Amino acid sequence: MDASSRNAAPPSPAALPAGPSSRATPMMEQYFEIKAANPNCLLFYRMGDFYELFFADAEIAARALGIALTKRGKHLGEDIPMCGVPVERADEYLHRLIALGHRVAVCEQLEDPAAARRRGAKSVVRRDVVRLVTPGTLTEESLLDSRRNNHLAAIARARASAAAADSVFALATADISTGDFRVIEGDAALLASEIARLDPGEVLVSDALYADPELAPFLRTLRQVTPLPRDVFDGATAERRLAQFFGVATIEAFGTFSRLEANAAAACVTYIDRTQLGRRPPLSPPARETSRTILQIDSATRANLELTRTLGGERKGSLLSAIDRTLTSAGSRLIAQRLSAPLTEPAAIARRLDALDWFMRNDEALAQTRAALAAAPDLARALARLALGRGGPRDLAAIRDGLSAAKALSTTLSGVADAPAEIAEALDALRGPDGDWVGELNAALADQLPPAKRDGGFVRAGFAHPLDEARALRDESRRVVAALQARYAEETGVRTLKIRHNNVLGYFVEVSAQHAGKLSASPGRDAFIHRQTLAGQVRFATTELAELEAKIASAADRALAIELEIFDRFAGLIADAAAAIRGTAGALAALDVAAALATLAIERAYVRPEIDASADFRIEGGRHPVVEQALLRDGGPFVANDCDLSPVDGGDAGRIWLVTGPNMAGKSTFLRQNALIAVLAQMGSFVPAKRARIGVLDRLFSRVGAADDLARGRSTFMVEMVETAAILNQAGPRSLVILDEIGRGTATFDGLSIAWAAIEHLHEANRCRALFATHFHELTALAKKLLRLHNATVRVKEWHGEVIFLHEVAPGAADRSYGVQVAKLAGLPESVVERAKLILAELEAEDRTSTARRLIDDLPLFAASAREPGPSPHKGDALIAALDALNPDEMSPREALEALYALKAKARG
């Protein structure tokens, strides 16, 4: 999606022409009324087999969808622009409109047109909007990515004062297609990192928040922001609205929520109620999360580490795609969730690792589980569609197959010994809902199922006697039609006579024009009544045919009604069992993830990380999970490397590794692999290393110099500095910081100075574990002064003037970058390479390193206390110095007065 459509502006409401007028037709009157009740939406107005759009809606949709704009009748003397989409292809068009940021109100016919006609020739078919389609409230398979959640988010804010820093936010997120519902409270940084993690399809805010200039830049970065009137975010009614939605007396049953959390959660459910027009998706009660239990990763870090998407926005090439061996859509969504939200509690992480470990030790259970999962469809999404009245026969089948697969798996694994907690819990939930309707459902559904229920044909013959009867009658009548055709052909002598059917005429007799005379003149003349003459054909009706038609129609209607009744009965049973089905779906997903990660660990020789509450970070033989797999495909080996950021000698502050080395040596790869190993470990996966011991991280930061954000109006260097500032201000003793070539987007000395000061700050003030890659080789001299700074370099060999990359990280410092050699490898013209070599030689003669050495020795070390911004202007410094020099005890009154004058003069400048 391009930047312009990712903005926060509400989709432009398609303006109505100047109100209904006395000259509008009754149908147009109805249209105006419905349209007025649904402003800000494109109105899909059902007319027979089409959804039609009128006026400005039609113009917007025709342009967006590339479909023909036509006209229909006149309004106030002007043509009414119109376009339409066929009902059976509506999903596809909806998808495109939603992706462009539009909202769509779907207006259906609520009665049979025949019923309207019976009321009188002028009466209009009853219609109303049955649903608002918005990006955050989708459930259709065709509108969703099966491997990703689609979150609807609501942000509520409370301010202690006017200062932005005092704001507290609550974020509620619901995925109505799966039932997940969560709420969390925290500061602006938490809000941003949570939104980056969940990547909601739609974000709800109050009108007031939407208009707040402080939040505008942030809101602009989101996919779709929907401002809502104040009542949706009304704190006073929030708890009541939540309780009502879940049908409980009070929400205390779900835990203790702060006012702000209840407010955000209530905004979500109110919006769901309004867009689903009262139909309720099977949402789980809101789960309260806290920032302390999740590793915080801000959006720049997520993007930079390519956790779930590459910088180019694709899944392929991301860490997620490298580790995802799940077999079900629900498993795929869960592994993405876990990867996006690694844990911070060693016990909770161990619980997941135990499950994985168990699968690795029980290969039979692993194989059986994977085999059963392969047959398990998406229970959660089928359930949501059925509960919202949007389900089809295939959703019934999905529930049947999912529950059967789960039950079979629970039987298979029932005998297992020593199952760890996560597995045991999952096995328990696999048993599914009580009642034997699953077996009955199996007996009810036909082998081949149509996608929609509206035409019937999904109930198996033999399941319901009345249905079989109605169908027999219907089919029998069809045979009678065939016999009738043969008889008519015989009687009239027209061999090519056909009996056909369409929606306008019903059944009719059709012959080619040349034979029409024979029918008009046939003996039982009144039997053939002329109905229509086309270019080559003439059509007739007969009384016999009309009678037959009525019989067929009523039998078919009855059959359909019985089928729909059966459908509704099962849908009702399923909705009643929603909580248990959701439990089963969750258990299948959890088993899928554990089994998938075990499969990955076996396949790629990952090990179980040791996780505790220490400040250690010791990786032996670590590998980059994504680069390793990419190299494997190209046949190259990945060189494993160690990393140790543990505190020195029992201290509590982590170490910083300053990584130098030539271009292309593998610095960036090394930095990222350590961050990715930490993420994998804390999400509960084994890791690509020989051994890994990690004291849990609470925050992870990763920055690369030079990345544009021109869309947000920041230059390359500005982005780099804003992000670096965020790290230096936020990183604490439990954080891991990855800084890759910070300071390279500016003049050499500016960059060097910034990198230098940043390292000192990390060492003295943040005291975190950090990896810092740089081409400023002078910085390596800092290790002399900073106790916990360790120099590491990625080794290369020089051979006959060529560089050979070893990709080995070793203690020590690089003295050169071989940039010119790498440029040569890249194919820079020979003349440029030669000239560069000459210039380099000249420059190196002026050795800048010696200056740096001198500075390291002379400059006083960075003082952590200087973090508090003091009265910094030079004039202030001079005044303070002058004051300091005075000694009042030894001054005469006159000297004191003179000193006072002198100070005043100084202050004036």
Ligand X SMILES: Nc1ncnc2c1ncn2[C@@H]1O[C@H](COP(=O)(O)OP(=O)(O)OP(=O)(O)O)[C@@H](O)[C@H]1O
Cβ closest to ligand X, residue 667 vs residue 699: 667
Residue 316 beta carbon to Mg ion: minimum distance, rounded to whole angstroms: 22
Site string for ligand X, 127-166 (x = CB under 6 A): ----------------------------------------
Residue 662 beta carbon to Mg ion: minimum distance, rounded to whole angstroms: 10
DSSP string spanning 262-286? HHHHHHHHHHHHHHTTT----PPPP
Selection from ligand X, Mg ion, none that 665 binds (CB < 5 to 8 A by kind) is ligand X
How far is Cα 484 from Cα 490, in angstroms, rounded to an integer?
Answer: 10
Cβ closest to ligand X, residue 632 vs residue 711: 632
Place of tokens 């007739």: 540
By CB under 6 A, the residues from 628 to 657 that bind ligand X are: 631, 638-639
By CB under 6 A, tell whether 688 contacts ligand X. Answer: no
By CB under 6 A, tell whether 625 contacts ligand X. Answer: no
Selection from ligand X, Mg ion, none that 263 binds (CB < 5 to 8 A by kind) is none
Residue 667 beta carbon to ligand X: minimum distance, rounded to whole angstroms: 3
User: For Mg ion, which stretch binds (CB under 5 A), given 244-252, 512-520, 664-672, 776-784?
Assistant: 664-672
Q: How many residues bind ligand X (CB under 6 A)?
A: 14
Residue 240 beta carbon to ligand X: minimum distance, rounded to whole angstroms: 56
Residue 865 beta carbon to ligand X: minimum distance, rounded to whole angstroms: 35
Cβ closest to Mg ion, residue 404 vs residue 668: 668
By CB under 6 A, tell whether 675 contacts ligand X. Answer: no
What is the CB neighbour count within 10 angstroms for residue 409? 24
How far is Cα 518 from Cα 523, in angstroms, rounded to an integer?
Answer: 9
Cβ closest to ligand X, residue 364 vs residue 815: 815
Q: Where are the beta strands (DSSP E) in 124-270?
A: 127-133, 152-159, 167-175, 180-186, 202-206, 225-228
The number of residues making up the chain comes to: 909
Cβ closest to ligand X, residue 617 vs residue 638: 638
Residue nearest ligand X, Cβ-based: 666
Cβ closest to Mg ion, residue 346 vs residue 661: 661
Secondary structure class of 120 (helix, strand, coil): coil
Query: Which listed residue (179, 282, 342, 661) binds ligand X by CB under 6 A?
Result: 661
Cβ closest to ligand X, residue 385 vs residue 667: 667
Do the Cβ atoms of 242 and 266 come closer than 8 Å? yes
Cβ closest to ligand X, residue 382 vs residue 665: 665
How far is Cα 185 from Cα 168, in angstroms, rounded to an integer?
Answer: 7
Do the Cβ atoms of 328 and 588 come closer than 8 Å? yes
Q: State the Rg of the chain over Cα.
A: 36
User: For ligand X, which stretch binds (CB under 6 A), given 3-11, 23-31, 440-448, 660-668?
Assistant: 660-668
> What is the strand order of the sheet 656-660 is part of?
296-297, 699-704, 735-740, 769-773, 656-660, 789-799, 802-811
Selection from ligand X, Mg ion, none that 393 binds (CB < 5 to 8 A by kind) is none
By CB under 6 A, tell whether 664 contacts ligand X. Answer: yes
Tell me the sheet residues that pair with 288: 183
Residue 665 beta carbon to ligand X: minimum distance, rounded to whole angstroms: 4
Contacts of 86-91 with CB under 8 Å at 24 or more apart are 86/49, 86/50, 87/46, 87/49, 87/50, 87/51, 88/49, 90/44, 90/51, 91/140, 91/142, 91/143
Task: Compute, in degrees rounded to 10, the torsion defined by CA atoms 249, 252, 257, 262.
Answer: -10
User: For ligand X, which stretch binds (CB under 6 A), given 210-218, 229-237, 349-357, 662-670?
Assistant: 662-670
How far is Cα 583 from Cα 589, in angstroms, rounded to an integer?
Answer: 10
Cβ closest to ligand X, residue 178 vs residue 663: 663
By CB under 5 A, the residues from 788 to 827 that bind Mg ion are: none
Pairing assessment for the beta strands 180-186 and 287-289 based on DSSP bridges = parallel
Tell me the sheet residues that pair with 183: 172, 288
How far is Cα 26 from Cα 121, in angstroms, rounded to an integer?
Answer: 11
Selection from Mg ion, ligand X, none that 627 binds (CB < 5 to 8 A by kind) is ligand X
Residue 668 beta carbon to ligand X: minimum distance, rounded to whole angstroms: 3
Selection from ligand X, Mg ion, none that 646 binds (CB < 5 to 8 A by kind) is none
Cβ closest to Mg ion, residue 138 vs residue 738: 738
Residue 424 beta carbon to Mg ion: minimum distance, rounded to whole angstroms: 46
Of 147, 151, 264, the closest CA to residue 197 belongs to: 151
By CB under 5 A, tell whether 668 contacts Mg ion. Answer: yes
Q: Cα angle at 85 between 82 and 91, to 5 degrees?
A: 140
How far is Cα 130 from Cα 452, in angstroms, rounded to an integer?
Answer: 17
Do the Cβ atoms of 545 and 484 come closer than 8 Å? yes
How far is Cα 874 from Cα 855, in angstroms, rounded to an integer?
Answer: 22
Cβ closest to ligand X, residue 65 vs residue 823: 823
DSSP string spanning 139-158? --GGGS-TTS---EEEEEEE
Site string for ligand X, 800-839 (x = CB under 6 A): -------x--------------------------------
Cβ closest to Mg ion, residue 139 vs residue 660: 660
How far is Cα 672 from Cα 125, in angstroms, rounded to an integer?
Answer: 63
By CB under 6 A, tell whether 666 contacts ligand X. Answer: yes
Residue 662 beta carbon to ligand X: minimum distance, rounded to whole angstroms: 7
User: For ligand X, which stretch binds (CB under 6 A), given 62-70, 116-124, 291-299, 659-667?
Assistant: 659-667
Query: Which listed residue (193, 206, 340, 669) binds ligand X by CB under 6 A?
Result: 669
- Residue 667 region by backbone torsions, left for phi larger than 0, else alpha for psi between -120 and 50, else beta: alpha
Of 76, 52, 56, the closest CA to residue 15 belongs to: 56
Secondary structure class of 109 (helix, strand, coil): strand
Q: What are phi and psi of 810, to 5 degrees?
A: -135, 160
Cβ closest to ligand X, residue 115 vs residue 706: 706
Selection from Mg ion, ligand X, none that 664 binds (CB < 5 to 8 A by kind) is ligand X
- CB-side exposure of 861: number of CA atoms within 13 Å? 15
Query: Which listed residue (105, 171, 481, 665) binds ligand X by CB under 6 A?
Result: 665
By CB under 6 A, the residues from 758 to 797 that bind ligand X are: 794
Do the Cβ atoms of 62 and 82 come closer than 8 Å? no
Cβ closest to ligand X, residue 275 vs residue 724: 724
- CB-side exposure of 285: number of CA atoms within 13 Å? 15
Distances 424 to 373, 375, 410 between C-alpha atoms, Å: 17, 21, 10
Selection from ligand X, Mg ion, none that 669 binds (CB < 5 to 8 A by kind) is ligand X
Selection from ligand X, Mg ion, none that 170 binds (CB < 5 to 8 A by kind) is none
User: For ligand X, which stretch binds (CB under 6 A), given 288-296, 367-375, 477-485, 666-674?
Assistant: 666-674
Cβ closest to ligand X, residue 137 vs residue 791: 791
By CB under 5 A, tell whether 304 contacts Mg ion. Answer: no
Cβ closest to ligand X, residue 126 vs residue 816: 816
Residue 308 beta carbon to ligand X: minimum distance, rounded to whole angstroms: 21
Cβ closest to Mg ion, residue 356 vs residue 643: 643
Residue 639 beta carbon to ligand X: minimum distance, rounded to whole angstroms: 4
* Sign of CA pseudo-dihedral 561, 567, 573, 576: negative
Residues of the shown chain interacting with Mg ion in the complex, contacts defined by CB under 5 A: 668
Residues of the shown chain interacting with ligand X in the complex, contacts defined by CB under 6 A: 627, 631, 638-639, 661, 663-669, 794, 807
